[in-house]
């Protein structure tokens, strides 16, 4: 069955104010995650293919289709709910990504963008308590972080996590210590000549921009099917942002499927094909990136720009 997720999120947009005013994230009971999805349209009701206990092994066994003309999406998040302890943060997020597509995942500070990327990457926190996540027919929701990485999730975290005491090259080689190996070091140095020049320098002594390049390079050193970038431009000088933007454009032409979270929404929207906007842990917009660039009201309401 194929339904239109854009329709769903648009209809939710009108109901979003009500939903927000009645919700208290921190106080949300655990049973909330078991509640029926909050989508309001009849289509949304019928598209739900998950029972309350699907998470205990009753998954449909194939990637759900949302708006893909009956084809399974390359990547899908399906009604995911995730918690830090009892804090209910990711509140029923659903979206799909086509192979080779670039998604800008946007929203104000605290909207749940990082938490969504972390839930997708299957790190322990936030804990995924409901929903399904599929990458290229593989059920990520049933995996731990190391397994998700093995099947192609490549998260470049906001804090970059360059390993202290290792050179640039050692950081890259460490990423390749276990299969599946992705790009060769030569290819990474071609993409980021600065890293090649500094290959023997300790990674943590690089500038912020260079560390960001190393964090991206290290992820590409693994065989990545979905690149997740969390605020790659954060704290960087405009000239470095432009340099990294050019690199991401190059990665885009190679057809790398990517989700980019960025406070610099305009830059992300120029790079992206599609935009998904989160507000208080829910999708409030899913549509072409240009639509957000063209719609000042939407940007003002959800992005404050
Ligand atoms: N480790 C954590 N423990 C508890 N709450 C958290 C944690 N990390 C983030 N949060 C809360 O989750 C919400 C969403 O945060 P986050 O996903 O980081 O938002 P964004 O990336 O959109 O700025 C915020 O209210 C934040 O305070
Ligand atoms: Mg964040």
In a domain, residue 140? The reply is yes
User: d(Cα 157, Cα 118) in Å, to the nearest integer?
Assistant: 9
Backbone angles phi, psi at 2, to 5 degrees: -125, 125
299, 263 contact by CB (below 8 A): no
Q: Pick from 25, 26, 89 the residue to mutate for probing ligand 1's pocket: most ligand atoms within 8 Å of its CB.
A: 89
In a domain, residue 136? The reply is yes
In a domain, residue 130? The reply is yes
In a domain, residue 11? The reply is no
Tens-level pLDDT at each residue, the chain (305 residues): 333 333 334 334 333 333 333 333 333 333 333 333 343 333 333 233 333 433 333 334 455 555 556 667 899 999 999 999 999 999 999 999 999 999 999 999 999 999 999 999 999 999 999 999 999 999 999 999 999 999 999 999 999 999 999 999 999 999 999 899 999 999 999 999 999 999 999 999 999 999 999 999 999 999 999 999 999 999 999 999 999 999 999 999 999 999 999 999 999 999 999 999 999 999 999 999 999 999 999 999 999 88
Q: How far is CA 47 from the centre of its chain?
A: 23
Ligand 1, atom 26, lies closest to the CA of: 110
In a domain, residue 216? The reply is no
Q: Which of 91, 100, 1, 76 is nearest to 37 (CA)?
A: 91
In a domain, residue 126? The reply is yes
Give the CATH number, domain containing residue 143: 3.40.50.300
Cα 140 to averaged position of ligand 2 atoms, centre (Å) = 21
Ligand 1, atom 16, lies closest to the CA of: 112
In a domain, residue 82? The reply is yes
Number of structural domains found in the chain: 1
Burial 100-110, CB ≥16 within 10 A → b, else e: ebbbbbbbbee
User: d(Cα 235, Cα 294) in Å, to the nearest integer?
Assistant: 27
pTM: 0.82
Q: Pick from 80, 84, 121 the residue to mutate for probing ligand 1's pocket: most ligand atoms within 8 Å of its CB.
A: 84
For residue 55, give the 3-state DSSP assignment. Answer: helix
7, 14 contact by CB (below 8 A): no
In a domain, residue 69? The reply is yes
Give residue 301's domain range.
Answer: 60-152+272-305
pLDDT of 2 reads: 37
């Amino acid at each position: 069955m194929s339904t239109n997720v854009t329709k769903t999120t648009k209809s939710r947009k009108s109901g979003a104010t009500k939903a927000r005013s009645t919700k208290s994230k921190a106080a949300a009971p655990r049973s909330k995650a078991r509640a029926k999805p909050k989508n309001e349209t009849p289509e949304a009701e019928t598209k739900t293919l998950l029972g309350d206990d699907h998470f205990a092994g009753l998954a449909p066994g194939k990637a759900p289709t949302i708006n893909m003309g009956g084809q399974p999406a390359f990547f899908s998040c399906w009604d995911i709910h995730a918690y830090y302890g009892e804090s209910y943060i990711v509140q029923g997020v659903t979206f799909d990504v086509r192979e080779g597509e670039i998604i800008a995942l946007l929203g104000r500070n605290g909207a749940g963008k990082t938490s969504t990327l972390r839930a997708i990457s299957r790190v322990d926190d936030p804990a995924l308590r409901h929903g399904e996540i599929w990458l290229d027919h593989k059920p990520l929701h049933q995996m731990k972080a190391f397994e998700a990485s093995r099947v192609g999730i490549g998260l470049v975290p906001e804090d970059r996590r360059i390993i202290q005491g290792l050179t640039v090259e050692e950081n890259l080689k460490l990423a390749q210590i276990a299969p599946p190996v992705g790009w060769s070091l030569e290819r990474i140095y071609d993409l980021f000549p600065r890293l090649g020049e500094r290959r023997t320098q300790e990674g943590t002594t690089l500038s912020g921009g260079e560390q960001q390049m190393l964090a991206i390079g290290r992820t590409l050193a693994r065989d990545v099917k979905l690149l997740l970038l969390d605020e790659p431009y954060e704290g960087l000088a405009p000239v470095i942002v432009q340099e990294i933007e050019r690199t991401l454009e190059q990665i885009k032409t190679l057809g790398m499927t990517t989700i980019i979270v960025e406070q610099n929404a305009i830059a992300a929207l120029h790079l992206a094909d599609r935009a998904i906007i989160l507000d208080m842990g829910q999708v409030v917009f899913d549509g072409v990136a240009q639509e957000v660039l063209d719609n000042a009201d939407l940007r003002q309401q959800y992005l404050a720009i």
